[in-house]
Amino acid sequence: MKICIACGMPMEQPEDFAGADPAKDYCRYCARPDGSMQSYEEKLAGMTEFIVRTQGLDEQAAHSAARGMMAKLPAWQGRD
């Protein structure tokens, strides 16, 4: 099983991968409509929104949590 390099999601089924392409290292949630990977800023905004929605944190706390999680992922090494 592969893990998305940009958000950490486990990717088991072809539809989990960007463009349903198991050769990709990132998931469908980290892909833009054209299949390219989202930028750091796009992913940070999306993860912040996801954390607010699913964990009930306020936006500032969710933003901080998202930054912390992303700092541990291969796609964002060397950022913040």
Q: What is the pLDDT of residue 80?
A: 57
CA–CA distance, 12 with 43 (Å, rounded to integer): 21
Pick the closest to residue 4 from 33, 28, 25, 34 (CA basis): 25
Structure tokens of 16?
């989990």
Question: Please, which pLDDT band fits residue 64 given cuts at 50, 70 and 90?
Answer: very high
What are the residue ranges spanned by the domains of the chain? 2-76
Whether the Cβ atoms of residue 37 and residue 18 lie closer than 8 Å to each other? yes
Say what the pTM is: 0.87
CA–CA distance, 4 with 43 (Å, rounded to integer): 12
CA–CA distance, 14 with 69 (Å, rounded to integer): 25
pLDDT digits (tens, 9 = 90+) for 6-60: 999 999 999 999 999 999 999 999 999 999 999 999 999 999 999 999 999 999 9
